[in-house]
């Protein structure tokens, strides 16, 4: 099987400026991980943006990336919204058939050796049966934010419910509905914390720590080696990737990995990338005073589009730093590598590599950005690689 990005990765900018769509987290797993688990036991290959090729080859030397698809290979769109119906439809697909959503290709078997994604017209010329479907493809980060709660439930039932569970709690830990709680190995639960799975599952993955007097209300996923700070309030629909530090109040949000929101403040209905730091007392709005649908800036269209929901917070790219007491407005999109501070309201769209107050932005010097990024990664035993620097320089020069 090949999981492919269909040249619409810009729908998910700025989070896919430096990662493929399949690496976006939603629910417990990343999009590609779920498709691999549900659709095949064979090795999986990937078609991604050529701009990311060198970076991914360095990070994943054992992956097959952007190699030709032999005849008979199943190709699946990384944007597929996973449901029992969509997985069944692909599992029942015949070699001469292609599933479509409008002009978007959902899945098909390669009719011959292919080096790139064919157009619908080309597939038709190969004699394939084109099947229009009512399945769904994700169209934005907002779609992922609003599907996160459903997918936490989905993933728990599919992958965790029957797995070995290291469910052991210390005295003073309050647990509601323990049958809906999965605890990984070497998890630490401090006295006074509350795990409330009465409304949905809670998954606390290997090596995570939940400190005293914090409350977690499912459905929630806490990633490996993440830390939930004293008194934190983690509400339903929240997924935290590995090695995050989170405090304050979080609701309906996704944090990709390696990011910190350690202090008091509210984060709601937001998507946060990696290596992000949100300063003490900072909060975002996820509901307009008018209760109207929230609009947000789309890199793909160059204008604001309707999210279709009255609840939407911020979409924050990798390596963003927000100073203390920053305020982020509904539907705000903050681009890659920004460093922002002051009491100015951060609103609408902040371009990549912006530096300063929201009312007085300048461009972040690339050397200064790299110096900070490298220091941040060294704190986690990692370093900024040459392939990352080359890619980020290209992004900086756009």
Among 77, 105, 139, residue at a domain's last position: 139
At 375, is the secondary structure helix, strand, or coil?
helix
Helix (H) or strand (E) holding 25: strand 25-26
The pLDDT of residue 168 is 74
Task: Examine the domain organization and report whether 278 and 307 are in the same domain.
Answer: yes
Per-residue pLDDT of the chain (398 residues; tens, 9 = 90+): 999 999 999 999 999 999 999 999 999 999 999 999 999 767 899 999 999 999 999 999 999 999 999 999 999 999 999 999 999 999 999 999 999 999 999 999 999 999 999 999 999 999 999 999 999 999 999 999 999 999 999 999 999 887 778 777 778 999 999 999 999 999 999 999 999 999 999 999 999 999 999 999 999 999 999 999 999 999 999 999 999 999 999 999 999 999 999 999 999 999 999 999 999 999 999 999 999 999 999 999 999 999 999 999 999 999 999 999 999 999 999 999 999 999 999 999 999 999 999 999 999 999 999 999 999 999 999 999 999 999 999 999 98
Task: Examine the domain organization and report whether 217 and 324 are in the same domain.
Answer: yes
Task: Examine the domain organization and report whether 234 and 125 are in the same domain.
Answer: no
Tokens 């589009």, residue located: 305
Torsion angle of C-alpha atoms 91, 93, 94, 95, degrees rounded to 10:
-90
Q: CA Rg, the chain, in Å?
A: 21
At 52, is the secondary structure helix, strand, or coil?
helix
78 in any annotated domain: yes
Task: Examine the domain organization and report whether 215 and 123 are in the same domain.
Answer: no
Provide the number of structural domains found in the chain: 2
Task: Examine the domain organization and report whether 157 and 132 are in the same domain.
Answer: no
CATH code for the domain of 275: 2.160.10.10
* CA–CA dist 221, 156 (Å, integer): 9
Residue 237's nearest CA partner among 154, 178, 296 is: 154
381 in any annotated domain: no
Q: Are strands 188-189 and 129-132 parallel, antiparallel or unpaired?
A: unpaired
Task: Examine the domain organization and report whether 81 and 223 are in the same domain.
Answer: no
The pLDDT of residue 41 is 66
186 in any annotated domain: yes
Torsion angle of C-alpha atoms 70, 71, 74, 80, degrees rounded to 10:
80
Task: Examine the domain organization and report whether 329 and 196 are in the same domain.
Answer: yes
Task: Examine the domain organization and report whether 171 and 237 are in the same domain.
Answer: yes
* CA–CA dist 133, 102 (Å, integer): 8
Task: Examine the domain organization and report whether 113 and 227 are in the same domain.
Answer: no
Long-range contact list for 159-166, CB < 8 A, 24+ apart? 159/28, 159/29, 159/37, 160/28, 160/201, 160/203
The pLDDT of residue 230 is 98
List CB contacts of 290: < 8 A, sequence separation 6 or more: none
* CA–CA dist 318, 16 (Å, integer): 10
Q: Residue 77: beta bridge partners?
A: 4
Task: Examine the domain organization and report whether 93 and 15 are in the same domain.
Answer: yes
Owning domain of residue 80: 2-139
Decide: 263 and 280 in contact? Cβ < 8 Å. yes
Task: Examine the domain organization and report whether 111 and 209 are in the same domain.
Answer: no
């Amino acid at each position: 099987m090949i999981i492919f990005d269909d040249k619409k990765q810009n729908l998910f900018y700025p989070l896919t400026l430096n990662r493929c769509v399949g690496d976006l987290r939603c629910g417990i797993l990343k999009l590609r991980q779920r498709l691999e688990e549900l659709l095949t036991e064979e090795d999986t290959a990937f078609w991604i943006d050529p701009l990311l090729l060198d970076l991914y080859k360095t990070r994943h030397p054992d992956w097959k990336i952007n190699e030709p698809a032999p005849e008979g290979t199943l190709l699946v769109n990384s944007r597929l919204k996973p449901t029992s119906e969509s997985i069944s439809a692909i599992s029942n697909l015949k070699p001469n058939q292609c599933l479509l959503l409008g002009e978007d290709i959902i899945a098909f078997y390669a009719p011959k050796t292919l080096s790139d994604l064919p157009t619908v017209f080309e597939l038709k010329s190969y004699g394939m049966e084109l099947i229009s479907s009512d399945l769904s493809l994700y169209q934005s980060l907002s779609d992922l934010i609003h599907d996160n709660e459903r997918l936490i439930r989905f993933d728990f039932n599919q992958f965790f419910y029957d797995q070995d569970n290291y469910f052991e709690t210390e005295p003073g830990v309050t647990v509601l509905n323990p049958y809906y709680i999965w605890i990984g190995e070497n998890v630490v639960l401090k006295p006074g914390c509350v795990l409330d799975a009465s409304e949905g599952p809670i998954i606390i993955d290997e090596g995570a720590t939940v400190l005293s007097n914090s409350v977690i209300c499912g459905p929630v996923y806490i990633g490996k080696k993440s830390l939930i700070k004293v008194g934190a309030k983690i509400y339903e629909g929240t997924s935290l990737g590995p090695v995050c530090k989170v405090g304050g109040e979080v609701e309906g949000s996704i944090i990709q990995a390696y990011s910190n929101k350690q202090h008091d403040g509210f984060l709601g209905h937001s998507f946060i990338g990696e290596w992000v730091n949100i300063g003490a007392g900072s909060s975002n709005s996820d509901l307009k005073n008018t209760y109207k649908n929230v609009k947000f800036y789309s890199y793909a269209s160059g204008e604001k589009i309707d999210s279709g929901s009255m609840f939407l917070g911020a979409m924050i790219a990798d390596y963003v730093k927000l100073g203390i007491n920053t305020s982020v407005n509904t539907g705000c999109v903050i681009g890659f590598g920004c460093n922002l501070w002051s009491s100015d309201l951060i609103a609408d769209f902040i371009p990549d590599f912006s530096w300063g107050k929201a009312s007085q932005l300048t461009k972040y010097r690339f050397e200064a950005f790299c110096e900070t990024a490298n220091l941040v990664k060294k704190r986690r035993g990692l370093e900024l690689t040459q392939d990352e620097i080359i890619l980020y320089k290209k992004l900086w020069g756009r």
